[in-house]
Amino acid sequence: MSFLTLLSLLPAVLAIAVSKDAAAASCACGFVDSNNNVWRESIVSDFTSAAGALSVLANDWAIAADHEPQGGNATADIQYTTANVLEHNDALGLKASAYTGSGSVNCAEIFTKRKDILYGTFRTRSGVPSTPGVVFGFFTYINDSQESDIEFLSSDVNYYQHVHYTNQPGQTAGATQDVQIPGADFTAPGEHRIDWLPSQTRYYYNGNVAAEHTITIQVPNTPSEFILNVWSNGDPGWSRGPPTADAYATVQTVSLYFNSTSLSASQFQQNCQSAGVPVCRI
């Protein structure tokens, strides 16, 4: 890139930097949600914005590229693949590729650069994959027993209105809920939400607080990252597949409002007082 090209990009780069800072300052007193919980920080990614999904992604997210050997009844390993995270339908696409019949399944995963998230409300406006044989996950994670999940299985009966809520490990009685929402069409972008609180995790579809689902055991309590992925390992008991055609989740937005171990309550209070702004409602 030439120096002049760089110079011509500068105003756009500055504008993004300024608007990010402005948003942070204007909500320096945090965010209050529909259950009156207050959260100090946010990561809001609008993958439909003119900047382009991958450019928005680069601000706060990393793309997985690891090989994950699978055990149990899986028929193939998972290969997270950078190219499977892409612009798709004017949003972010997460793709599990049509299986070639041998080797790993090429899959997609993004995770927050931050691993210091401790409690919050996490929302996405996404459409689920309609090609059978994959899992679309939206979850907090630090290890396999500190993880709260929303998962969609495209081979489920009525997969377009079927969702699994789990505090891992899911084998524990009461740690998972298998939910169907009559009339819903998850293939059209709708809002899926996890509220991670110290005593429970709560799950919502399209902000329907009356129809919330709650899990009160194995609630994670460790600073974590946040992950979205689309994967398959051929396990007939869960993902099924691997898919015979490309399977896409379409992610329009991800909005994370949270507390972290990096911004203390007292520092937050001080920032709020010096900004002198009202709390932001979400």
Binding site for ligand NAG (CB under 6 A): 30, 38-40, 72-73, 119, 142-146, 197-198, 222, 237, 259, 265, 268
Residue 271 C-beta: closest distance to ligand NAG, Å: 11
Which of 32, 86 has the CB closer to ligand NAG? Answer: 32
Which of 204, 257 has the CB closer to ligand NAG? Answer: 257
Which of 40, 95 has the CB closer to ligand NAG? Answer: 40
Residue type at 6? L
269 vs 276: CA distance, rounded Å:
10
204 vs 125: CA distance, rounded Å:
12
211 vs 112: CA distance, rounded Å:
29
Residue 259 C-beta: closest distance to ligand NAG, Å: 4
Pairing of strands 91-96, 117-127: unpaired
Percentages helix, strand, coil for the chain (3-state, rounded to 5) are 20, 40, 40
* Residue with token string 């599990």: 96
Which of 208, 222 has the CB closer to ligand NAG? Answer: 222
Which of 38, 98 has the CB closer to ligand NAG? Answer: 38
Residue 239 C-beta: closest distance to ligand NAG, Å: 12
Residue 143 C-beta: closest distance to ligand NAG, Å: 4
Which of 86, 142 has the CB closer to ligand NAG? Answer: 142
Residue 89 C-beta: closest distance to ligand NAG, Å: 34
CA dihedral 280, 114, 246, 244 (to 10 degrees): -120
- Residue number with the smallest Cβ distance to ligand NAG: 72
Helix or strand holding residue 7 (H, E): helix 3-26
Residue 214 C-beta: closest distance to ligand NAG, Å: 15
Which of 143, 158 has the CB closer to ligand NAG? Answer: 143
Residue 147 C-beta: closest distance to ligand NAG, Å: 9
**Burial of 15 by CB count in 10 Å (0-12 exposed, 13-18 middle, 19+ buried)?**
exposed
Q: What contacts 218, CB < 8 A, 6 or more positions away?
A: 145, 167, 168, 169, 172, 175
Q: What contacts 27, CB < 8 A, 6 or more positions away?
A: 42, 277, 279, 280
In angstroms, what CA-CA distances link 234 with 51, 74, 106, 132? 36, 5, 12, 11
